[in-house]
Amino acid sequence: MPVVLGTCHHDCPDSCGWLATVEEGVAVRLRGNPDHPYSRGELCPKVNRFLDRVYSPDRLLTPLIRTGPKGRGEFRLASWNEALALVVKRVSAAIDRHGGETVLPWGDAGTQGLIQMSSLDRRFFARLGASRQTGSLCGATAGAGVAATYGSGRGADPADLRHARYVILWGTNTRLTNRHLWPFVEQARAAGAKIVVIDPLRTITAEAADWFIQPRPGTDVALMLAMMHVIISEEMVDTDYVDRYATGFHRLAEHVTGWTPERAEAATGVPADDIRLLAREYAGTRPSFIRTLIGAEHHENGAMFFRALACLPVLTGAWRDLGGGLARSVGVWSEVNVDDSVFNPSESVDRRGINMNELGRALTGDLDPPVSVLFVWNGNPAVTVPNSNLIRAGLQRDDLFTVVSEQFLTDTARFADVVFPATTQLEQLDVVASWGHLYLGWNEPAIHPRGESVPNTELWRRLAAAFGMEGDDLYQSDEELVASALVGVDVAALRADGFVRLDLPDRLTPYVEGGFATDGGKAELWSQALEQAGLPALPDYREPLPGGLPLILLTPKRHTRFLNSSYSVLPGHAGPEGGPFLEIHPVDAASRNIEDDSWIEVHNAGGRLRLKARLTDRVPEGVVSAPFGWQAADHGGDGVANSLTPDTPTDWGGGVAYSDARVEVTALSRHEPAILVPATAG
């Protein structure tokens, strides 16, 4: 039986290599590739059962056309020709009436590959004259924050933390969301490293740490400023490194004079003595390594978190050492071998941008022209985007024509007028550039597309043909697209081996002798560019704005069998997770007469959800947690956890402040049924 090399496509930093065993055209086994240098033969609990997804009886395998009310999920089967003809008719009529910008493309990272995530779609929508999607649900804000200090988002190889003797995992639940990095953490600990976790939630990673520090949500920058205060006032700065490779030190030193650990304790809840000890240990141990991911960017001061964090290894000279520095997403390093700008349209017509985080506002607001056509692929915004009740209100509009490409009838697809069936990763060609390690992965189709499903690239080719568009750039094959975007890569070798390391030094120490990507080549502790943009030139703390309601709501990735909302439609994944819930501290529960496992209502202006309460000290007082990812049906109605999250933008970087939600929680009858009581959208 043939074994086919592939790479996981999920929005996850691990981008694991896999082996698919095929018998008579059917994939009968999927396991990790033991030769992959990072994932080393292990797959996660989600992908271990990926064949259940591929062969699920609920897979969408033919185009669908809506027959019932929007949101009810009532469709009839249709041929590709019929569905394409309907799309051409409705979209052409909308453009004739309002112009091309009435069309809004909305795509995310549900399939995170070089060509299936975004390639031909850019050219297709440019030909339509459609609005441009801007912003980012995750990642861009973190990158923009680091770039404010370093000039780019480039950092250390996360795997190099195995060489560190002091490791801070800051705002990242490594054991759950970056599980293949954990062996490197344990390798560092076995060699004598201390492992510190800083997180507002007591995660499974925090429970495995040598020291857990739990600041209030959104207050991390105050903690960083106090660390800088201690490092500078106690003369623990690597003055030689700072003098050679940084600017603005004296301004920063003066700025943090008032940021004593006692002041930071008042803001963060972290004891002042712990802050002093953290600063002394971090600055006094070499190599020292900070690992973070994207969770902390989901606050109004999200970019400032990463801007301030990037200053710490500059002050201590941690960048001199292998196993020192700061690591976040390493996807930016893929630029050495991947140039996806080749997919950009040749047309230079200026088209309006609409932030993907503000989809609800775009669909219900007074834009001119209005959004009257919506295309959705690689995502499920009715579940994963904040202010989701407002999105659902927009999707209900009779004058909105919605086209969705999907594998299952998700909450978003239930509102569509036309649904096109999408392939899974086992059925499509792609190359995956990881944002958690330094290897490109090849994905060879292991089986033919099931039913009438097609890869995203084929969808755009068929749509372009249906609209009568001309030009070879719209009809390139998948192999041609891949070859056009890879730079200095032996494609045949990549295809044969399944992976290749990026063309980078074996010892990746990018800033050992400065070389920052700023205009002057130095890290900018004080930033003129930020000042000119009307932003704080120095790392600065902004107190979270009061929300009028007493509890902070976090909606983290908590499930081992979900990824965002993927897999939550599958009984084999959703069932073992047990259903939605709200974690609340026993003190907050007692003051509200809430008992463990009783029904509660959590609400704010965005919506109301009824959930089971879990009393736990995993969350601190004043904070509650409702993991996102469940579909509306799992909540018994039309809303989800993101009905309660705001679409407030981050300070810069185009992100969104999911984690600044404020709510109240009310006790209900212990036997109250789990139903949703919708609030007025918006």
DSSP lists the bridge partners of residue 355 as 134
Residues 176 and 308 in one domain: yes
Q: Quick one: pLDDT at residue 277?
A: 98
* 145 and 260 belong to one structural domain: yes
Pick the last residue of a domain from 328, 359, 392: 328
Same domain, 364 and 477: yes
Mean pLDDT (whole number) for 85-113 = 97
User: In Å, how far are 52, 110, 482, 486, 491 from 430, measured between CA atoms?
Assistant: 21, 14, 7, 12, 12
The verdict on 347 and 462 lying in the same domain is yes
Contact between 356 and 363 under an 8 Å Cβ cutoff? The reply is: no
The set of residues, in sequence order, having a beta carbon less than 8 Å from that of 606 and lying 6+ positions away, is 387, 389, 390, 643, 644, 645, 646, 661, 679
Residues 381 and 469 in one domain: yes
Rounded-to-integer distance, Cα 20 and Cα 46, Å = 15
Domain count, the chain: 3
Nearest in space to 8 (alpha carbons), one of 410, 422, 328, 431: 431
On whether the CB atoms of residues 628 and 640 are closer than 8 A, the answer is yes
Per-residue pLDDT, averaged over 53-68, amounts to 98
166: pLDDT strictly greater than 50: yes
Same domain, 297 and 245: yes
Q: Report phi then psi at 171, rounded to 5.
A: 65, 30
Stretch (H or E) spanning 96: helix 80-98
Q: What's residue 636's pLDDT? A: 78
**Token pair in block for residue 359:** 């989809």
Structure tokens at 65: 């056309």
Q: Indicate the range of 65-74, 330-339, 527-536, 556-565 predicted with least confidence.
A: 556-565
At 29, give phi and psi (nearest 5°).
Answer: -155, 140
How large is the average pLDDT for residues 262-283? 98
- Residue-wise pLDDT for 176-210, tens only, equals 999 999 999 999 999 999 999 999 999 999 999 99
Half-sphere exposure of 636 (CA within 13 A, CB side): 14
Position 682 scores a pLDDT of 31
Q: What is the mean pLDDT of residues 370-375?
A: 98
Whether 111 is in a domain gets the answer yes
What is the pLDDT, as a whole number, of residue 676?
43
Alpha carbon distance 15, 353 (integer Å): 30
- Mean pLDDT is lowest, of 108-117, 369-378, 535-544, 632-641, for 632-641
Higher pLDDT, 561 or 16: 16
Average of pLDDT values for 341-348? 91
Cis amide leading into 215 (omega within 30) = no
Asked if 475 contacts 464 with a C-beta cutoff of 8 angstroms, the reply is yes
Across 245-306, the runs of DSSP E, i.e. the strands, are 246-247, 288-291
Angle at which helices 302-309 and 140-150 pack, to 10 degrees? 40
Is residue 516 in some structural domain?
no
Q: Are both 215 and 130 inside the same structural domain?
A: no
On whether residue 132 sits in a domain, the answer given is yes
**What does the pLDDT look like over 519-533, one tens digit per residue?**
999 999 999 999 999
> Distance between CA 612 and CA 674 in Å, rounded?
8
Mean pLDDT check: name the lowest of 153-167, 287-301, 343-357, 653-667. 343-357
Region 74-100: what's the mean pLDDT? 98
Among candidate residues 328, 360, 378, the one where a domain is terminated? 328
Q: Which amino acid is at 232?
A: I
pLDDT digits (tens, 9 = 90+) for 489-526: 999 999 999 999 999 999 999 999 999 999 999 999 99
**Which amino acid is residue 90, in one-letter code?**
R
Pairing type for strands 439-443 and 430-433 reads antiparallel
Q: Give the pLDDT confidence score for residue 520 in this predicted structure.
A: 96
pLDDT given at position 671:
54
- Same domain for 133 and 145? no
Q: Are 642 and 628 in contact (CB under 8 A)?
A: yes
* Paired tokens of 577: 């997770």
Q: Which helix (H) or strand (E) holds 281?
A: helix 272-284
**Top-confidence residue, 569 or 124:** 124
Task: Grade residue 565 by pLDDT with cuts at 50, 70 and 90.
Answer: confident
Say whether both 246 and 152 belong to one domain.
yes
Measured between alpha carbons, how far is 269 from 139 in angstroms, rounded to an integer? 27
pLDDT tens for 398-441 read: 999 999 999 999 999 999 999 999 999 999 999 999 999 999 99
At residue 576, the pLDDT reads 87
Identify any residues that bridge with 433 across adjacent strands, giving them in sequence order: 440
Confidence (pLDDT) at 548: 86
Residue 47: half-sphere exposure toward Cβ, Cα within 13 Å: 27
CATH code assigned at 109:
3.40.50.740
Sort 140 into a burial class: Cβ within 10 Å, 0-12 / 13-18 / 19+.
buried
| 2 within a domain of the structure (yes/no) | no
Q: What is the pLDDT of residue 562?
A: 83
Q: Same domain for 471 and 380? A: yes
Identify the residue whose tokens are 């205009």. Answer: 519
CA 618, 620, 624, 629 torsion-angle sign: negative
3-class DSSP state for residue 338?
strand
pLDDT given at position 88: 98
Whether residues 263 and 177 share a domain: the answer is yes
- For residue 17, being part of any structural domain is answered with no
User: Across residues 358-369, what is the average pLDDT?
Assistant: 98
pLDDT exceeds 80 at position 300: yes
Q: Prior bond to 287 cis, omega within 30?
A: yes
- 51 occurs within a structural domain: no
Range of the domain at 598: 551-667
Tell me if 45 is assigned to some domain: no
104 lies in some domain = yes
Compare 567 and 652 and report the one with higher pLDDT.
652
| Residue 442 pLDDT > 60 | yes
pLDDT-above-70 percentage for the chain: 98
pLDDT of residue 672: 52
- The CATH number of the domain where 206 resides is what? 3.40.228.10
**What's the whole-number mean pLDDT along residues 232-254?**
98
Cα separations in angstroms, 626 against 380, 390, 552, 579, 584: 18, 19, 11, 11, 9
Q: Using the 3D structure, point to which of 328, 362, 381 is the last residue of a domain.
A: 328
Which pLDDT value is given to residue 377? 98
Task: State the DSSP string of 9-48.
Answer: -SSSTT--EEEEEEETTEEEEEEE-TT-TTTTT---TTGG
Q: How big is the chain, counted in residues?
A: 682
In CATH, what number is assigned to the domain containing residue 615? 2.40.40.20
Instruction: Assess whether 293 and 357 both reside in one domain.
Output: no
Enter the tokens of residue 668: 């209900």
Rounded Cα–Cα distance for residues 276 and 289 (Å): 18
